Structure 1
Amino acid sequence: MTKRLVVNIFIGSSSSSSSSSEQNVAKIALQAIKQASAIKDKDYKQLTISTIYQNLKCCKSILNEYALRMNHASPTYTTIQQDKFHPVYVSSLVFDGKTYRGEVAGSKKEAEQLVARIAIESLLGFDSGILLQIINSKSKAHNGRNTINGHSGNMINTQRPVLVGPSKQPVNV
């Protein structure tokens, strides 16, 4: 097994007393720690954004919880069907005095989730950390629901008959 040792050497300006030299080195060390922390925060936000892209179904819930925690009114959604002959929907929402316009979707529910995601992305730029906490807690809850004993929730139990078709006759899968 290989062990790795990382050594950071901080060289400050020379000083006549050891206490001021220690303070100079401590300032440099603190700046290095802050820079490393800023990089980690950027990576954390990027991971959070990818989480909301994977879990679109959670976006409205995330935004509602954020509104509740921040003492804002709940978002107000407006959804229109753009074409009478095709199920094409677009939603907009008003949250904290700002209006967000969503993308085209195949259902009203999806259109509302998409516009909620757009609002979340916008809010992440100004978030104090509360929105990130909510997203990560929803992500953990969502991942926990879809995994049972290490298997995806999309598995079919082949020991029971499955009812399909208009006749509702049992069919073994």
Structure 2
Amino acid sequence: MRIIFLALILSLSFSCQRKEGKDSIIRYQEGRQLLTLNNTSLEGERIETPVVGKISLDSISVGQELLVKIFIQDPKLYIANAFVNCEPIENPTVDTTTYKVSGCSTGLVVQNDTIYIGFRPTVIGTKKFPEITVLTRDPSRVFRTFVYSFEYKVVDGISKNISEIKDVE
């Protein structure tokens, strides 16, 4: 009986030590999580950048509002926040209560795990939206960031383009 009890205690001890080893990979500085696991799992394996989905029109007329919805296709990841105009920082951190990333001051609208971007383009042509720093949280409550951007096309007028297509036929 004592041997079984001793074996049980030892197995619990070893399992707790393994868990502490995984959690020790996550580093904190002054109550903020260091964003050192952006490309690494808790087991130390390399992870790929999440696949991003985007819902928007393919093209928009000058002066019309373009609404873009951005989401992550992996249901295990949650978009916690998103920013533009982030400054490069040597050791970026995130406040785990407010979801603010160091070096990032201009936040985007994030609701229900989706980033919403609305704007009115004023210049014709194919444009690239500024880099978006996306803050994610996984089921283990580990925060990571990655950068995403997208292109959009601004045209002179949708009705004019439709008549040009009919003339080609």
Q: Normalized against structure 2, the TM-score is what? A: 0.33
Q: Which has the larger radius of gyration?
A: 1
Structure holding more helix per residue: 1
Structure holding more strand per residue: 2
Q: Normalized against structure 1, the TM-score is what? A: 0.32
